[in-house]
Amino acid sequence: MTGGIARFIGLAGIAAMAALALAGPLLVGHDPARQNLMASLPPPLSEGHLLGTDHLGRDMAARLLAGARITLSLAAFAVLSAACFGTGLGILAGWAGGITDRLLGAFADGVLALPGLLLVLLLAAIHPNSWWTLYAGLALTLWVEFFRMSRARTRIVVAGPAVEAAQMLGLGRWHIVRRHLWPAVATQVLTLAAFGAATVVTALATLGFISVGLRPPTPEWGVMMAELLPNWREAPWTVMAPVICLAFTVACLRLCAGREEEA
Domains (range + CATH), the chain: 3-27+48-262 (1.10.3720.10)
Pairwise CA distance, residues 166 & 173, whole Å? 9
Mean pLDDT across 16-38? 89
**Which pLDDT score, from 0 to 100, does residue 259 have?**
57
Nearest CA among 139, 138, 154 for reference residue 105: 154
* Amino acid (1-letter code) at residue 135: Y
Nearest CA among 225, 168, 200 for reference residue 81: 200
Instruction: Check residue 53 and give left, alpha or beta (phi > 0: left; psi -120 to 50: alpha).
Output: beta
Whole-model pTM: value is 0.88
Residue 59: what are its φ and ψ, rounded to 5°? -65, 125
Q: What is the pLDDT of residues 202-251, one digit of tens each?
A: 999 998 898 888 888 899 999 999 999 999 888 999 999 999 999 999 99
What angle is formed at CA 35 by the lines to CA 30 and CA 36, rounded to 5 degrees?
A: 100
Portion of the chain with pLDDT greater than 70, in percent: 97
Nearest CA among 26, 242, 223, 13 for reference residue 128: 223
What angle is formed at CA 65 by the lines to CA 190 and CA 120, rounded to 5 degrees?
A: 55
Pairwise CA distance, residues 192 & 206, whole Å? 21
**Which pLDDT score, from 0 to 100, does residue 263 have?**
39
Which residues lie across from 114 on neighbouring strands?
A: none
Nearest CA among 11, 58, 22, 61 for reference residue 39: 58
Q: Give start and end residues of each alpha helix (H) in the chain.
A: 3-22, 24-28, 60-96, 98-113, 116-126, 131-158, 161-168, 173-176, 182-209, 221-228, 236-256
Q: Which residues have C-beta within 8 Å of that of residue 229, sequence separation ≥ 6?
A: 239
Do residues 242 and 58 lie in contact, with contact meaning Cβ atoms separated by under 8 Å? no
* Cα dihedral 158, 161, 167, 172 in deg (nearest 10): -60
Res 261 pLDDT > 80: no
Q: What is the pLDDT of residues 172-183, one digit of tens each?
A: 778 888 888 888
Residue 234 has a CB neighbour count (10 Å cut-off) of 10
